[in-house]
Amino acid sequence: MIKNTGFNYFNFRPFVSIRSIRSAVFFLALVWAFASAASGAESPRAEFKERRRAVAASMEAATVWIVAEDDDELTTGSGFIVADGFIATNAHVVDELGEDGVIYVLNERIPMRKAKIVNFIHEDKSEAISGRDFALLRFDPPEGAELSVLLFNFDVQKMDRVSAWGYPAMVTQFDASTERLREGDTRNLKPAPVVYTEGTVNTIVRDKAGASILHSASIAGGNSGGPLVNNRGEVVGMNTWGYKEEDEGAFLNGAQTASELAFFLIDNGVTPRLAPGQQMAARTERTGEIGSAFAARRQEKEGEGRERKLGDYSVVIPRGWSVLDEGENMILAGSDDNAAVVGIMTADRDGRSLARIARDLSKEFDGGEPELDDDVYMFAFSDDGVDTLVCVGEADDDDKYVMVFVSGDGDDPGVQAMLNSVN
Domain count within the chain: 2
Do 100 and 45 share a structural domain?
no
pLDDT at 344 exceeding the cut of 70: yes
Name which of 166, 237, 165, 246 is nearest 202 in CA terms: 237
Do 45 and 90 share a structural domain?
no
- How far apart CA 376 and CA 355 sit, in angstroms, is 9
Mean pLDDT of 119-123: 91
Predicted local distance difference test score (pLDDT) of residue 247: 60
Query: Where in 123-269 does DSSP place strands (E)?
Result: 133-139, 161-166, 195-207, 210-215, 227-229, 235-245, 250-257
Do 160 and 105 share a structural domain?
yes
pTM for this prediction: 0.60
In a domain, 159, yes or no: yes
230 half-sphere exposure, CB direction, 13 A CA radius = 22
Do 36 and 80 share a structural domain?
no
Do 84 and 43 share a structural domain?
no
Of 246, 265, 284, which one is at a domain's C-terminal end? 265
Do 19 and 87 share a structural domain?
no
C-beta neighbour count of 251 within 10 angstroms: 13
Residue 173 or residue 150, greater confidence: 150
Mean pLDDT of 304-317: 67
Do 99 and 231 share a structural domain?
yes
In a domain, 379, yes or no: yes
Of 265, 292, 324, which one is at a domain's C-terminal end? 265
Do 100 and 190 share a structural domain?
yes
Please spell the DSSP secondary structure of 98-132, one letter per residue.
Answer: -TT-EEEEE-SSS--EEEEEEEEEE---SS-TT--
In a domain, 165, yes or no: yes
Write out pLDDT tens, residues 70-116.
Answer: 877 888 999 999 999 999 999 999 988 877 789 999 998 898 999 99
Evaluate whether 104 touches 87 at the Cβ level (below 8 Å): no
Mean pLDDT of 396-419: 79
Predicted local distance difference test score (pLDDT) of residue 293: 33
Range of the domain at 323: 9-49+311-420
Query: Where in 208-278 does DSSP place strands (E)?
Result: 210-215, 227-229, 235-245, 250-257
- How far apart CA 339 and CA 134 sit, in angstroms, is 39
In a domain, 170, yes or no: yes
Residue 410 or residue 22, greater confidence: 410
Domain with residue 117: its CATH number is 2.40.10.120
Predicted local distance difference test score (pLDDT) of residue 284: 56
Q: What angle do CA 134, 136, 142 make, to 5 degrees?
A: 145
In a domain, 66, yes or no: no
Predicted local distance difference test score (pLDDT) of residue 250: 64
Region at 86 (left for phi over 0; alpha for psi -120 to 50; beta for the rest): beta
Give percent above pLDDT 70 in the chain.
75
Do 256 and 320 share a structural domain?
no
Write out pLDDT tens, residues 39-60.
Answer: 444 555 666 778 888 899 999 9
Do 113 and 203 share a structural domain?
yes
Q: Report the SS3 class of residue 88.
A: strand
Do 175 and 321 share a structural domain?
no
In a domain, 56, yes or no: no
In a domain, 27, yes or no: yes
- How far apart CA 423 and CA 414 sit, in angstroms, is 16
Q: Which residues are 372's β-sheet partners?
A: 377
Question: Which amino acid, 40?
Answer: G
Evaluate whether 421 touches 20 at the Cβ level (below 8 Å): no
Q: How confident is the model at residue 306 (pLDDT cuts 50, 70, 90)?
A: low
Domain with residue 381: its CATH number is 3.40.1000
In a domain, 121, yes or no: yes
Do 220 and 114 share a structural domain?
yes
